[in-house]
Amino acid sequence: MQTYPSEHKEIVKELLDGKFILYSDKLFSVIQDNDNKDFYEDFFQQSFDYKLEVRSEFIFLSSKATTERDTRDFTIFLALFCRELELDGKKFREQIELATHYVDDVWQTLMNSTKKEIIDSTGIKDFRNFLNRWNRKNVINLTGNSFKFTKAVNLFFEFAVNVANEKLKETDNLQTKMTEQ
């Protein structure tokens, strides 16, 4: 008979709720234990068809069958915020990794953007509620009127790089076909 770690219910609930388990969380070390890691990889795959993703600084579940709009909205928010930071002469990666951001200032920055219509097409209209959702998922650490991004934000940067690389491949393939004609 399978014996589960005493934190099993908490681990399953947190991950199924879409939460990132950060390195600093006690659950991280429970999952990362070699016996538990193999068990949880198999458990989530067999039970839910989810892949357990274990990174050096966070753990999360992924699925090829997801259509989660909230993730798309967060990626759009992050992209536009980074764009505005760069336009303001700041190194966006450094700002995302190290700086504290004030909720009202960030919202004002987005509302003053020349790309504001992109934000208008998302579910970010209630910015405080949006940030609260991502705080619960451990992607940001929201305290009062300010927040910092956690290491989990790196997943969204990876995603953006992958999308950009795919677009570049499509462009290169199209250009190659055109020159061959």
- Please give the pLDDT value at position 181: 65
CA atoms within 13 A on the CB side of 41: 9
Do residues 98 and 146 share a domain? Answer: yes
Q: What ranges make up the beta strands (E) of 76-116?
A: 101-102
Do residues 93 and 29 share a domain? Answer: no
Do residues 129 and 151 share a domain? Answer: yes
Mean pLDDT (10-residue bins), the chain, 181 residues: 90 96 97 90 95 95 78 90 94 95 97 93 91 96 98 90 75 72 65
- Please give the pLDDT value at position 67: 60
Do residues 82 and 48 share a domain? Answer: no
In the chain, the number of structural domains is 2
- Please give the pLDDT value at position 33: 87
Residue 95 placed within a domain:
yes
- Please give the pLDDT value at position 141: 98
Residue 16 placed within a domain:
yes
- Please give the pLDDT value at position 71: 85
Q: Collapse the DSSP code of 57 into the 3-class scheme (helix H, G, I; strand E, B; otherwise coil) and give the result.
A: coil
Neighbours of 167 (CB within 10 A): 10
- Please give the pLDDT value at position 59: 97
Do residues 154 and 78 share a domain? Answer: yes
Residue 175 placed within a domain:
no
Do residues 87 and 141 share a domain? Answer: yes
Closest C-alpha among 24, 38, 35, 30 to residue 11 = 30
Indicate which CATH number applies to the domain containing 118. Answer: 1.10.10
Residue 176 placed within a domain:
no
Cα end-to-end span (Å), the chain: 65
Do residues 57 and 12 share a domain? Answer: yes
Residue 128 placed within a domain:
yes
Instruction: Please give the residue range of the domain that contains residue 37.
Output: 8-62
